[in-house]
Amino acid sequence: MREFGISNHQLALIVCNNVFIILFYYLNTLVLIPKFLAREKWLWYVLSIVACLSVFLYLPKEIAAKIAEPEVLNPQNRPWIPNPAYHGKIPNTSLGRRRPLADGYNTVLFLLVFTVGTCISVIQRWLLTEQNRKETENEKLNTELSFLKSQVNPHFFFNTLNNIYSLAVVRSEKTAPAVMKLSSIMRYILTETQRDLVPLSNEVDFTHNFIDLQKVRLTDKVMLQFSAEGDIDTLLIAPLLFIPFVENAFKYGVSTKESSSIQIYIKTEGNTIIFNSINYIVATENTLTENTGIGINNVKRRLELMYPGKHVLTTTEKDNYYTVHLEIIT
């Protein structure tokens, strides 16, 4: 029936409204939000939205009227429609309220598109910002770890060369084997430390080689114990975490005048790696805690970066013995 039909003007108005609402969506998300909202120009953004709403409520009607003539209104400003129940025409009072209702509907539609578009755009920009922040943090973390590794390697290399130099000065026959041991150790540093994680067994072998290298300068007054037990073949660990503690045990726990001892243990319990180092504190000009050096501080920082909340490191000094206890959950 005709009263359920749609006029050409109404069809043109619907098309114009849809076109304008789509254009506003892209204008808001691609231009207004990046240019005003993202730069915190709140007033300009609000004024732009109000201007868009005014244009949306006015311009589509004008364009639709140019495309198709609207219905002819009677003197009471109400459209006449045919009514089969009468031989003439009666005014349709319900259509007289069509324009205010249409403006209200268009306003709600505009605000809905505005809210959805703004929320989607803001969420997308927030996710992009979070992604960039995480990438920046990861890059900073990798840079810091690389810097810490570059500090650990020369520190270890410097101390080991001092030991070999001492052998060379006295023309010891142990000098050549010591150089070979150092070559093996440096090969490990150059190859394995480029990786974030290495097999625990490799780190144990590296520690064992280092201890063998230190033995060349030990006397019978030093009691040395080293052991590794547990599932060291399957667990992974960051390289060069143990060696600064081992270095300091030899540096401050060895004496040629009095008896001393060093005990180093590495073991695993499930997915936990446990390192213990106990050394007798040899009297020096400075205390041990004042001379732990950059190596220990770097290890602490690396543990914080690579095992946050998954490690426990305690150092104690009691009865002239210095103890290091480190647990790492892999």
| 179 and 128 co-located in one domain | no
Tell me the pLDDT of the chain (330 aa) as tens digits.
444 457 777 788 888 888 888 898 899 888 888 888 888 888 998 898 899 988 888 888 888 878 877 765 544 544 544 444 444 444 444 444 445 556 777 888 888 988 888 898 888 888 888 887 777 676 666 656 665 565 555 656 776 788 788 778 888 787 888 888 888 888 887 787 778 888 999 999 989 988 888 787 777 788 889 999 998 989 999 888 898 898 888 888 887 777 888 999 999 999 999 999 999 888 764 444 444 455 677 788 888 888 888 999 999 998 889 999 999 998
Q: Are residues 129 and 177 in the same domain?
A: no
Choosing from 110, 133, 156, the residue where a domain stops is 133
Residue 99 has a pLDDT of 54
Is residue 81 located within the same domain as residue 191?
no
Q: Is residue 219, in this structure, part of any structural domain at all?
A: yes
Together in a domain, 129 and 193? no
* Structural domain includes residue 59: yes
In a domain, 303, yes or no: yes
Per-residue pLDDT at 143: 59
| Domain shared by 179 and 319, yes or no | yes
Q: Quick one: 286 exposed, middle or buried, by C-beta within 10 A (0-12, 13-18, 19+)?
A: exposed
Q: How many domains does the chain have?
A: 2
Inter-residue contact 239 to 284 (CB < 8 Å)? no
Look at residues 85, 106, 133 and tell me which one is the last residue of a structural domain: 133
Residue 186 lies in a domain: yes
3-state secondary structure the chain: CHHHCCCHHHHHHHHHHHHHHHHHHHHHHHHHHHHHHCCCCHHHHHHHHHHHHHHHHHHHHHHHHHHCCCCCECCCCCEEEECCCCCCEEECHHHHHHHHHHHHHHHHHHHHHHHHHHHHHHHHHHHHHHHHHHHHHHHHHHHHHHHHHHHHHHHHHHHHHHHHHHHHHCCCCCHHHHHHHHHHHHHHHHHHCCCCCEEHHHHHHHHHHHHHHHHCCCCCCEEEEEEEECCCCCCEECCCCCHHHHHHHHHHHCCCCCCEEEEEEEEEECCEEEEEEEEECCCCCCCHHHCCHHHHHHHHHHHHHHCCCCEEEEEEEECCEEEEEEEEEC
Which of 84, 115, 133 is the endpoint of a domain? Answer: 133
Q: Are 115 and 237 contained in the same domain?
A: no
Q: Is residue 163 part of a domain?
A: no
**pLDDT in the model for residue 269:** 92
Q: Looking at the structure, do residues 46 and 94 belong to the same domain, yes or no?
A: yes
What's residue 72's pLDDT? Answer: 55
Domain co-membership, 122 together with 212: no
Q: Note whether 121 and 188 are same-domain residues.
A: no
Q: Determine the structural domain holding residue 181 and report its residue range.
A: 172-329
230 and 122 assigned to the same domain: no
Q: Does residue 32 lie in a domain region?
A: yes
DSSP bridge pairs for 326: 275, 313
Question: Is residue 298 in some structural domain?
Answer: yes
Residue 231 sits in the same domain as residue 296: yes
- For the domain that residue 272 is a member of, what is the CATH number? 3.30.565.10
Q: Could you tell me if 63 and 16 are in contact, meaning their C-beta atoms sit under 8 angstroms apart?
A: yes
Residue-level pLDDT at 289: 44
> pTM for the full model?
0.55
**Domain-embedded: residue 87:** yes
Residue in the block written with tokens 């050096």 = 293
pLDDT at 88: 46
Give yes or no: residues 268 and 220 share one domain.
Answer: yes
